[in-house]
Chains A and B, each alone.
Chain A
């Protein structure tokens, strides 16, 4: 297992276009998180899945954002009608089980640039 995989690594899009990112968590990790990291800031929580159920969404996730995790395996994050303010690194993380001793493993992220 090579860890959490994210695709693409970089995406440049024109304002107003839709984009979709993919995250493949570590096998058998039932918890999956999406974060957004802007330049000079720490990652900010966006949303959380336990298996296929989306159980929490941040206020940061406007109605232009949607995430899915069909079948509880890979996840996608879609941004519709992109804006320049959406430019950021989008990080995915997975963990195997609940509890304070559980480590979240992060992917290398997808860097989105909206021009």
Chain B
């Protein structure tokens, strides 16, 4: 079945450091890929998405590129801020089953001043 794997956390970075959170997926067909973010005490929010191979999603300085050949969708940010501290979920929607979203386990990020 469809699944998402992402790097385990927690990840702790100093402010202005470079961030990479790895994500790989297994899916039939051509899924859409997402990164969701969950800030402390808040609900899940869509951070960025990509719907086809080689698409790059970007938002708030975060980027991820849909790589079909490596089945990956790694999240990157060039310079993290304390306000980026949150849990990040990689996810996919395969479009064949009512577009339900399948999530990875999440990666907790803490950014220290």
Contact = CB atoms under 8 A, between A and B. Distances in A.
Do the two chains bind?
Answer: yes
A2 B78 CA distance: 32
Interface residues of A, number: 28
A31 B99 contact: yes
A56 B51 contact: no
Contacts of A33: 100-101
Contacts of B101: 33, 43, 45, 93, 104
Q: How large is the interface on B (under 10, 10 to 19, 20 to 34, 35 or more residues)?
A: 20 to 34
A101 B51 contact: yes
A82 interface: no
A55 B4 CA distance: 23
Contacts of B65: none
Interface in B25-75: 31-32, 36, 42-46, 49, 51
A100 B98 contact: no
Given A40-B106, A108-B43, A56 B100 contact: yes
A42 B106 contact: yes
Given A31-B98, A45-B101, A100 B93 contact: yes
A100 B100 CA distance: 10
Interface in B73-113: 89, 91, 93, 95, 97-106
Identify the 8 closest CB pairs spanning chains A and B, nearest first.
Answer: A42-B103, A108-B43, A106-B44, A100-B32, A100-B51, A48-B98, A45-B100, A106-B43
Interface of B: 4, 31-32, 36, 42-46, 49, 51, 89, 91, 93, 95, 97-106
17 contacts: A33-B100, A42-B89, A43-B103, A45-B100, A45-B101, A48-B100, A50-B98, A55-B98, A95-B99, A98-B99, A100-B32, A100-B95, A103-B46, A104-B46, A104-B101, A105-B46, A106-B36
Interface of A: 4, 31, 33, 40-45, 48, 50, 55-56, 91, 93, 95, 98-109
